[in-house]
Structure 1
């Protein structure tokens, strides 16, 4: 019979976990409780006592058409960015898994973009896709004003979608490659002996076995699109033009730090958190049913 491991020195155990617990308390739980309190009260921008207002802040944001526009824009951004990043990463992983010429080099450099901070990614793509200085300027010379994210809303949306997808594709690539390498080679070889080509093997053998990984990355990418896209939006478009890229997370920043309306920003952050929780629940409740774990 195997005995259960025990740790007798509780003081040492407490001392070892105390720093991590302190970080979680200070940077997660305390701000969450504070935001929840501010969401149900009015927070003076320059100090003073809070006044309890109940659901008034939530009623105000739900009656604001500008806020609903940010919700719509955020959902569109999440769908487009998640689809593009997952599709790109899957294609890269399938190519590297085939061990084509230089696959070791590609496996190493494909992960680099995820190590770059979001503001740096936004700055790079802002220059690359600048209508008057980047490589797109050559296109505008033949078709004037064909691409201008500073004036056209959909151009700005495409810009932030491509930038965010480029960064997240590197993250997704690692998981797809690991999942592909976990598939027994005997299955791939058997399909090849049956006459299946590369595309047929990917469609009928490899991709169906990637369902658990696809589901995991779907949850992670959608969540990331809602909560970790501020840096790219702030640097590339600033929420414009005409609020075409005013994502929920960026509107929280604008109302809280620029408009100094902390109570409204706190209420919006609570709504954003509940939206992410609801989307995650829907994915686990309905999407996971179709996932088959080998």
Structure 2
């Protein structure tokens, strides 16, 4: 017996789908078309007729050394943040999966940071790791300028990566724990009976079986590192792109260029370049990394 809903006319299902179609057109396709149009025109910030300039916006973007600096910073942030987040989530998942006494509450505690907004996490860590009054104050007292995100761009980049990893480690923990629980317990028990310790079982048995989950998280976290709302929120509330453009990631630069600099055309051109960069990295991941993933 077929229990699927069947409509005898086309207008009734179309009427049900109309609100969702309108939302998609207004908040996805219309802005995408606008960005594509603005990238090839000179858009007045306060309204008026736009002037077609062809590839001039892209030429201006590529001639700016600060833009290439933001590309390098974004690559470092996305790569280091992704690897740190997946590694932390994997360690936490392996620890909880052992089902030691009292480990059940940690499932909730490890997921909790994911529910916190990125800007709020950035503000919290800005004070927690403050070089004057935070946890690093005592270290700076013994070793002056050992940690100073307000002065050194490398320190500031480490700070935003730490915030990003802390915020998203719970997200990776959820998927990795689910993947570990799908591994047959008989395999783990057999390896333990053969004398394999927890680390050896994790490296030789559990992690290879998590390859599809790890690949999925790699793609998702790399994309989040490049264009995620949390990426902008963390940078904006923690370092504001500084010092000396040390944390000026691409998504932060695009937003600042558009809403502070009122350069909508330049920001649109940068957005298209960022989309192309994400497509290239996604292609590389699926073309080369997925070859090492076994789904059976």
TM-score by length of 1: 0.97
Match of 1:212 in 2: 212
- 1:8-57 deviations in whole A, cap 9, x for unaligned? 15444223322222222111111011000000000111211000011111
For residues 51-66 of structure 1, the aligned pairs below 5 Å read 51-66=51-66
For residues 29-178 of structure 1, the aligned pairs below 5 Å read 29-178=29-178
What is the CA-CA distance between 1:5 and the residue it aligns to?
4.1
- 1:129-179 deviations in whole A, cap 9, x for unaligned? 111121111211111221110000110000000000111111000000000
Match of 1:7 in 2: 6
For 2:218 and 2:44, the matched residues in 1 are separated by 40
For 1:286 and 1:237, the matched residues in 2 are separated by 35
Structure 2: state its 5+ residue gaps. Answer: none
For 1:258 and 1:101, the matched residues in 2 are separated by 53
Q: Which residue of 261, 282, 286 maps to 1:284?
A: 286
What is the CA-CA distance between 1:4 and the residue it aligns to?
8.9
What is the CA-CA distance between 1:192 and the residue it aligns to?
1.0
Match of 1:235 in 2: 237
What is the CA-CA distance between 1:261 and the residue it aligns to?
0.7
Match of 1:246 in 2: 248
For 1:113 and 1:232, the matched residues in 2 are separated by 14
How many residues align structurally?
293
Match of 2:184 in 1: 184
- 1:255-283 deviations in whole A, cap 9, x for unaligned? 11111111000100111111111111111
For 1:81 and 1:60, the matched residues in 2 are separated by 30
Match of 2:28 in 1: 28
- 1:165-199 deviations in whole A, cap 9, x for unaligned? 11111100000000000011011111111111111
Structure 1: state its 5+ residue gaps. Answer: none
Match of 1:269 in 2: 271
SS of the residue 2:245 aligns to: coil
What is the CA-CA distance between 1:3 and the residue it aligns to?
5.8
Off by >6 Å, runs of 4+ in structure 1: none
In angstroms, what is the RMSD of aligned CA positions?
1.3
SS of the residue 1:83 aligns to: helix
For 1:124 and 1:99, the matched residues in 2 are separated by 32
